[in-house]
Amino acid sequence: MAKKLRVCFHDRCFDGTSSAAVFSRFYRERVDPAAEFAYTGLTHQPAGTHLDERIFDGDENVIVDFKYSSSPRLTWWFDHHQSAFLTPEDAEHFRRHRSDTKFYDPTYKSCTKFLADIAQKKFRFDPEPLAELIGWADIIDGAQYESPEAAVRMNVPATQIALVIEASSDDHMTTRLIPELGSKPLAEVAALPFVAGTFRELYRRHENSLDAVRRIAEATNGVVFFDVADFPLEGYNKFIPYFLFPDSYYSVSVSRTAQRIKVAVGTNPWKQPAHEKNLASLCERYGGGGHARVAAISFAPEHLDNARRAACEIAAELRK
């Protein structure tokens, strides 16, 4: 009987989805070509919420681009976030239980590149066939676009796929895309009918979100603040604030989905302040986290007032 792998990945995220694609190809080529893969997308939950260990139902269980779990059922782990450990106990567990299949390095801009490098160095995996995917994951997750226009206009396959991953209402979109990303050039993936059709609809919504942020955002002392929780938006492109307000240093926003309220905090990749704040550390005060230059906090859907209060406090601190 073929070995079953449960691969858990950061859902609604180009880097998370790409990490799952690279891991799957690596595992087939270097570990077990007969393995069968099942995928589960993970999203950040309100502070203190641990993963339900029942998701680890495979012969081997994997997490990529998401927080660590101390479950004995977890076999493989790759992450690059500053806030990779939900509790100090989890961090200590990782340090005490060193493993040849669990890896962490917050200096990487993307988990996809980190995973590919580890697989190449330690397991003799050849990442070259996936170089395009790995390179774009590093650009997108590391906010290394050449300009705000390049990030917002979405006129290349990678950014089109990223919009589909981040904003599609289809809960199975990312799991459908993982095998495609691991086996096809990005232009072919973007041209797949279920991807191209979804992109066209989402781009119309993207233009609506651009207009909404333009109308309501406030830019003061280098910080753009906007609250779209009451707007019919499932998400928005995180580079819109810097496209609209190129002289800003930071952005703080409040948005809503059916599952959570999200406070997002980011740094303008094209205009850094002289004394930059660590946004992951700032969001950790409220139970969130992320990276030094981009971070977020998740609140339960009924805690909109708490989310708005936190966002206002963060914006006020950044404006000082």
Evaluated on CA atoms 65, 94, 262, 268, the torsion sign reads negative
Domains of the chain: residue spans and CATH: 4-193 (3.90.1640), 217-319 (3.10.310.30)
Q: Three-state SS across 264-291? A: EEEECCCCCCCCCCCHHHHHHCCCCEEC
Q: Could you say which residues of the chain have pLDDT below 50?
A: none
Q: What is the pLDDT of residue 176?
A: 98
Q: What is the pLDDT of residue 3?
A: 96
CA count, 13 A, side-chain hemisphere, 82: 16
From its phi and psi, is residue 22 left (phi > 0), alpha (psi between -120 and 50) or beta?
Answer: alpha
Supply 234's token pair: 């499932």
First-residue to last-residue Cα distance in the chain: 61
Q: How far apart are CA 281 and CA 299, in angstroms?
A: 17
* pLDDT, tens only, 163-186: 999 989 899 999 999 999 999 999
Q: What is the pLDDT of residue 47?
A: 61
Starting at the edge strand found earlier in the chain, the sheet holding 60-64 runs 36-42, 4-10, 60-64, 76-79, 102-104
Three-class DSSP category at 230: coil
* pLDDT, tens only, 96-129: 998 999 999 999 999 999 999 999 999 999 999 9
Q: What is the pLDDT of residue 314?
A: 98
- If one counts every other C-beta atom within 10 angstroms of the C-beta of residue 115, the result is 30
Q: What is the pLDDT of residue 257?
A: 84
Q: What is the pLDDT of residue 185?
A: 98
